[in-house]
Amino acid sequence: MFRKVLIANRGEIAVRVMRSLREMGIASVAVYSDADRTSLHVRMADEAEHVGPSPSAESYLRIDRILDAARKHNADAIHPGYGFLSENADFAAACEDAGLVFIGPSAHSIRMMGSKTAARQTAIAAGAPVVPGTDHPVTFEEAREFARTEGYPILLKAVAGGGGKGMRRVDAPGELESAYRNAASEAERAFRNAEIYVEKLIERPRHIEIQLLGDRHGNMVHLGERECSIQRRHQKVIEECPSPLVALYPDMRVAMGEAAIRAARAAGYYNAGTVEFLVDQERRFYFLEMNTRLQVEHPVTELVTGLDLVRLQVEIAAGARLPFAQEEVSWRGSSIECRIYAEDPYNDFLPYPGKLTRLDRPLGPGIRLDGCVYNGWTVPMEYDPLLAKLAVWAATRPEATDRMLRALREYDVGGIRTNIGFFRQILEDPEFREGRLHTAFIEEFFTRHKAPQPPPDLAALAALAAAMYTISNAGSAVNGSGINGSSVNNSRQESANAWREAGRGEMLR
């Protein structure tokens, strides 16, 4: 087993990886940029190395500096986390060339799945269902020909794509030429590759993905699905396991699991990976793409399967065999994860970094919090403002939903804006509670709740009320009325309670 592992990442995922390493008795090396000198991942690591200025292009994306740090600290292996260099085939190859184990799949698998057309060809060869489309780049004329035979609407996609960049919906022949030009130039700018391919558009699909785990001896299992349909501009917001749809039709897990394993095997895949599927209104599923990394939302799979995916990744990278067979994987209960961001959901989700002046975290039964913040820390503006992932486990989905609402009520972050209140509104939404999820959920949520109002800053209001009370010396200031008249789904009783709670919090300061 490795003695020391360098984590080529920052934030909550660096902290998450270090926690498993520590349990395994493996020393950890952090890398950090200027902006991260005081960050939690640096404080938690056994050793740390500065790798450059704040922009990630000059620090977390510098292969040479990361490898220098690994050599200097005598690391045996590198865990890339997600984002940054995690799906960079050149980085995986450079690690191996430097005699360091890359904790992930081979450079070959990463490269193959990085090309969306090569990934489609692999899936087709493996017999996995794919959306009708082309498995090679197309010219504008070929795209027009495809649409003529298959019909509109179609979706133009970047061959080097992912995350929705270089993607254009086309509903009619007249829109095709400009859509093609825009998609190609956006793809060129984002990926330095202007190649476009085309698929039939699936309307209001669900996004359901299968977690895979394979060792370097040819064994591979699936760990079930995650439902990731609740997203905004290709950024996932809420994830769950099991998918409420698959829970109703359990055969889907078997079929999608088998299709995912077949596609990954055809790519010679090992370590942790995820196959994404689109599911249409008739519950047909289609291979979309494969992510060759540990994913942000892996905790919901861990909570329901009882496995530690990071530990398994490290063991597999060190050459171990998978310690269980497919028949031994079981799924128990229900898990939901909310991505807690420093952002303002009521102002177009604008990032809202800054200094944390108050931090009360949810605790108690069934709660897991993967975070990277502490009170007094300033959330840097250079990176994704993810503060923490709040995940809950309970026996059933309705109980997990109620537990998440309880946890969100306990969560109190001061000094910056967060999306915590927004999550409370989504989890109370009947469509969510009935599991009627699809990729346009948040857009439709905003139309259903015409211009939702931000919940009031209760702590500030309580302080104001306390001041007024003191000045006037009259005992009837705190009654809750008026304040929550604008807030959605809140009873008067609950608002009075929230007032009292916030007031008590202020008195304890």
Instruction: Provide, for the chain, the percentages of residues in helix, strand and coil under a 3-state DSSP scheme, each rounded to the nearest 5.
Output: 40, 25, 40
Q: Does 373 engage in binding with ligand MV4 (CB under 6 A)? A: no
Contact letters (x/-) for ligand MV4, 130-149, by CB under 6 A?
A: -x------------------
Nearest to 85 by CA among 71, 102, 68, 72: 102
Q: Give the dihedral sign, CA 324/326/270/231.
A: negative
Q: Is 202 in the site for ligand MV4 (CB under 6 A)?
A: yes
Answer for the pair 78, 99: CB distance below 8 angstroms, yes or no.
no
Using CA atoms, how far apart are residues 118 and 292, in angstroms rounded to an integer?
Answer: 14
- Options 107-115, 199-207, 378-386, 498-506: segment touching ligand MV4 (CB under 6 A): 199-207
The region of 3-11, 62-70, 198-206, 249-257 touching ligand MV4 under the rule CB under 6 A is 198-206
Q: How near is the Cβ of 262 to ligand MV4 at its closest, in Å?
A: 20
Instruction: Decide: 417 and 344 in contact? Cβ < 8 Å.
Output: yes
Question: Interface with ligand MV4 by CB under 6 A: which range of 12-20, 194-202, 319-327, 406-414?
Answer: 194-202
Work out whether the CA dihedral 203, 206, 210, 211 comes out positive or negative.
Answer: positive
Residue from the set 24, 126, 201, 466 that interacts with ligand MV4 by CB under 6 A: 201
Cβ atoms of 275 and 262 closer than 8 Å: no
Instruction: List CB contacts of 250: < 8 A, sequence separation 6 or more.
Output: none
Give me the residue label for tokens 């329901």.
Answer: 304
Is 231 a binding residue for ligand MV4 by CB under 6 A? The answer is: yes
Residues 47-76 that bind ligand MV4 (CB under 6 A): none
Structure tokens at 474: 């009259």
Hey, which residues between 409 and 468 contact ligand MV4 (CB under 6 A)? 439
Q: How far apart are CA 460 and CA 234, in angstroms?
A: 34
DSSP β-bridge partners for residue 338: 238, 390
Say if residue 318 is exposed, middle or buried (CB neighbours under 10 Å; 0-12, 13-18, 19+).
middle
Q: Give the three-state DSSP class for 133.
A: strand
Q: CB-wise, 70 or 155, nearer to ligand MV4? A: 155
Size of the site for ligand MV4 (CB under 6 A): 16
Out of 36, 76, 186, 199, the only residue in the binding site for ligand MV4 (CB under 6 A) is 199
**Which of residues 16, 120, 207, 293 is near ligand MV4 by CB under 6 A?**
207
By CB under 6 A, residue 166 contacts ligand MV4: no
Cβ distance to ligand MV4 smaller for residue 60 or 277: 277
User: Which single residue is written with the structure tokens 């990442």?
Assistant: 9
Of 139 and 281, which CB lies nearer to ligand MV4 in the complex structure?
Answer: 281
Based on CB atoms, which residue is closest to ligand MV4, 288 or 304?
288
| Site for ligand MV4 contains 246 (CB under 6 A) | no
Using the minimum distance from each CB to ligand MV4, give the nearer residue, 447 or 470: 447
Burial class (CB in 10 A: 0-12, 13-18, 19+), 188: middle
CB closer to ligand MV4, 20 vs 115: 115
For ligand MV4, the binding residue among 289, 315, 337, 412 (CB under 6 A) is: 289
Residue from the set 45, 155, 237, 394 that interacts with ligand MV4 by CB under 6 A: 155
- H or E element that contains 222: strand 220-232
> For the chain, what is the total number of helices (H) and then of strands (E)?
18, 20
The reply to whether 43 belongs to the active site is no
Catalytic residue (one of 293, 397, 403, 417): 293
Binding site for ligand MV4 (CB under 6 A): 131, 155, 162, 164, 199-202, 205, 207, 231, 234, 278, 288-289, 439
> Which residue numbers are catalytic?
293
